[in-house]
Amino acid sequence: MLMLGAVMLFSCQSEEQDIRTETDGRILQLDLSMGLQSDGDMVVTRAPGDPGTYEQFVLPEHAYVYLVADNGTTTQVCKRTDADKEEQSLSFTLSPEKWHKSVHTLSVPQSNGDSIYVYLDRLYFEIPAGTTAARLYVAMSKQALHNLPTITAGTSTEGDVLAMTYDVVSSSDAAAAQQADRDAIQHIYSSPYNYEIDGNYYGTVFAPFESARLSLMLYHVAAKVDLMWNVDKTLQATDRLTYIQARKLKQLGCKLFWPTENAWTSADDASHYTLDLMDDDVSRQWYGRQYYYAIPYQVDSKYAVYLHMLKNGDDKADNEGSGYNLTIKRSPVSTIFVPWLRGDLKFTNTITYGNAEK
pLDDT of residue 6: 25
- Is residue 296 within 8 A of residue 259, CB to CB? The reply is yes
Q: How far apart are CA 284 and CA 189, in angstroms?
A: 32
Kindly report the backbone phi and psi dihedral angles of residue 268, in degrees, each rounded to the nearest multiple of 5, phi listed first: -75, -10
- Is residue 117 within 8 A of residue 99, CB to CB? The reply is yes
**275 has pLDDT over 70:** yes
Q: Which CATH architecture has domain 223-357?
A: Sandwich (2.60)
pLDDT of residue 250: 92
Q: Average pLDDT of 283-307? A: 89
pLDDT of residue 7: 25
pLDDT of residue 97: 92
Average pLDDT, the chain: 80
pLDDT of residue 18: 34
**285 has pLDDT over 70:** yes
pLDDT of residue 313: 92
Report pLDDT digits (tens) over 57-82: 788 999 999 999 999 999 999 999 99
Extents of the domains making up the chain? 2-220, 223-357
Residue 172: which residues within 8 A CB-CB, separation 6 or more?
none
**132 has pLDDT over 80:** yes
Q: Which residue has the higher pLDDT, 292 or 75?
A: 75
Q: What is the dihedral of CA 276, 278, 280, 284, to 10 degrees?
A: 90
Q: How far apart are CA 339 and CA 109, in angstroms?
A: 16
CA gyration radius for the chain? Answer: 23
pLDDT of residue 118: 86
Nearest to 250 by CA among 306, 180, 188: 306
pLDDT of residue 207: 67
Q: Average pLDDT of 300-308? A: 89
